[in-house]
Structure 1
Amino acid sequence: MSAAFDAGALARLFVEARAHRAKLDTLPEGARPSNADEAYAVQAETLRLIGVNIGGWKVGAKSSDGPIQGALLPADGVHRSGAHLAMDAFGRAGLELEVAFTLGRRFEPNRGPYDDAAVLDAIESVHASIEVVASRFAAWPDIEKPWQLADLQNHGALIVGEGVPYDAAFPFVAPAMTFTSNGVPLFHATPANPAGDPRRLLAWTVNHSVSHGFAVERGTVITAGSYTGIAFPDTPGHVVGTIAGLPPVELHFA
């Protein structure tokens, strides 16, 4: 991390933008993250300033063997299926349909590393989830990647459906699904997670968390990348995501 970078200064800007539903045009000198380590420091400081617990993680990768990155999620931004959220609270907001996992054990901070088998064995349940993608930057998505990562990887809110017990035979690479707003499809392509099997992202998330001094509590939700790409609804609506084998997830976007 460069000596000139001030993670706290950027975190304060993000917290103020969230509180006032404001958008940032640019960042001042000294508050411009240039790499992932600086971005992750901002994430941690943002949650500290907000004063809420970690409610979960969002994690993803651009390819089936590519690098992984993620963001911790404030507990007050993680909602149950059926949540009512105001579109204007986010500015320009996108929606993604994802598979999320709930872990059934605690992983202690500053322990590990844990291998895939240990983390997969900890999966308690699997859920359909809707990620509300939103940015604190006016020019998003034309923003530097480390800036987006610092901004909790463009996190607005997460809506999590009811879970079912984990079954390793579930078709995680290519599940059948639909995603609609007021009955109108939000995507038309074949569903696919660019990370491939999203379970490959879980051990990274646990190890990233504990290595940064954060426990992974029992019940932690990890949402693991979009199968549908990002959709930008123009009007309020009743959004429903269905993934075969999982209970549906619903969002009332007003």
Structure 2
Amino acid sequence: MNHALVSEAVEALLAARRDRKLLDALPESARPTSLEEAYAIQNEVARRLGRVTAWKVGAASPSAEPSCAPINPATLFFGTDRLPASLFHVIGIEAEIVYRLAHGLPARDEPWTRDEVLAAVASVHPAFEICDTRFTAYGSQPPFSHLADQGNHGALIVGAAAGDWRSIDPVRQPIALDIDGKRAAEVVGGNSASDPVRLLTWLANVGARPFGGLHAGDTVTTGSCTGTLFIQPGSHAVATYPGLGKIELSIQ
């Protein structure tokens, strides 16, 4: 896909955000047909939206190649327990585990090791990601188009830091998600990638390279532990992570 076609897709996605007019699809000639094309569109949209201060990363299985998307400050929230429903087209809530970095992991020739990545972590947090779409229907497009659309990101809501994050084993972390007082999900671990630290390491070495790697203060959410649950405006969600913390969110 040449630069002009990347620009056409970027402009379509930016207009959908700006004008809140959802897309039936990307322009036919500008639909990504490869990972490279999807990331070219995704990254340019992120650059046009402003600074990148956070990331989402995930994988379909413990051995699958991860995928990622940069997140800008406008959709990153700390200590928030209420968001307006008007921010979203659809509201797909996921309970996730977030890592914040004390210092950067800049792009370099030698891969960052798992131990080096963990040494860069400042804190671990419970979090919600809200999945959304700039298309008329969630999941209606080929996977590369949804990846180009920020991997279906809507908002990232980060709870309070865990007291002793180094004692937390995310693979064995229990999580319970309640929606409007009813248990919607209860898992141990629950992440399709199994090990979030593998995702964080991949992001430092591969995914974040177009932006110079990861930076001090970056916030990284590491994929759904509970699956995506679509909720309605007026819903109240509570995710409880024994030993890690709790996060609540009302969508009004």
Q: Same fold (TM over 0.5)?
A: yes
Q: Residue 97 of structure 2: which of 78, 86, 99 is its match?
A: 99
CA shift in 2, pair 1:5/1:196, >3 Å: farther
Q: Which residue of 2 aligns with 1:148?
A: 146
CA drift at 1:64: 0.9
- C-alpha contact 2:163 2:244 (8 A) present in aligned 1: no
Q: SS at 1:96's partner residue? A: strand
Matched, 1:67 2:76: no
CA drift at 1:194: 0.6
CA drift at 1:189: 5.9
CA shift in 2, pair 1:188/1:127, >3 Å: closer
Q: Which residue of 1 aligns with 2:204?
A: 206
CA drift at 1:174: 2.7
Matched, 1:123 2:85: no
Residue type at the aligned position of 1:10: A
Matched, 1:86 2:77: no
Structure 2 residues without counterparts, runs of 5 or longer:
none
CA shift in 2, pair 1:180/1:22, >3 Å: farther
Q: Which residue of 1 aligns with 2:15?
A: 16
CA drift at 1:188: 5.1
- C-alpha contact 1:5 1:33 (8 A) present in aligned 2: no
Paired with 1:109 and 1:128, the residues of 2 have a C-alpha distance of 27
Q: Which residue of 1 aligns with 2:158?
A: 160
- C-alpha contact 1:100 1:127 (8 A) present in aligned 2: yes
Paired with 2:40 and 2:12, the residues of 1 have a C-alpha distance of 14
Q: SS at 1:234's partner residue? A: coil
CA shift in 2, pair 1:165/1:6, >3 Å: farther
CA drift at 1:209: 4.6
Q: SS at 2:199's partner residue? A: helix
- C-alpha contact 1:59 1:201 (8 A) present in aligned 2: yes
Q: Residue 193 of structure 1: which of 191, 194, 201 is its match?
A: 191
Matched, 1:3 2:6: no
Q: SS at 1:186's partner residue? A: strand
Mapping for residues 19-58 of structure 1, pairs under 5 Å: 19-50=18-49, 52-58=50-56
Paired with 1:35 and 1:167, the residues of 2 have a C-alpha distance of 37
- C-alpha contact 2:94 2:229 (8 A) present in aligned 1: yes
Q: Which residue of 1 aligns with 2:219?
A: 221
CA drift at 1:12: 1.4
Paired with 2:110 and 2:249, the residues of 1 have a C-alpha distance of 37
Per-residue CA distance 1:87-122 (angstroms, 9 max, x = gap):
232112200000111111112345543222211221
Paired with 1:83 and 1:40, the residues of 2 have a C-alpha distance of 32
Q: SS at 1:194's partner residue? A: coil
Per-residue CA distance 1:99-157 (angstroms, 9 max, x = gap):
11111111234554322221122111110010000011113213111111111100000
- C-alpha contact 1:77 1:158 (8 A) present in aligned 2: yes
- C-alpha contact 1:107 1:210 (8 A) present in aligned 2: no
- C-alpha contact 1:109 1:209 (8 A) present in aligned 2: no
Residue type at the aligned position of 1:81: G
- C-alpha contact 1:111 1:210 (8 A) present in aligned 2: no
- Which structure shows the bigger proportion of residues in helix conformation? 2
Scaled by the length of structure 2, the TM-score of the pair is 0.92
Scaled by the length of structure 1, the TM-score of the pair is 0.91
Paired with 1:68 and 1:102, the residues of 2 have a C-alpha distance of 19
CA shift in 2, pair 1:236/1:163, >3 Å: same
- C-alpha contact 1:21 1:90 (8 A) present in aligned 2: no
Which has the higher mean CA deviation after the structures are superposed, 193-202 or 103-112? 103-112
**Identity over aligned pairs, percent:** 31
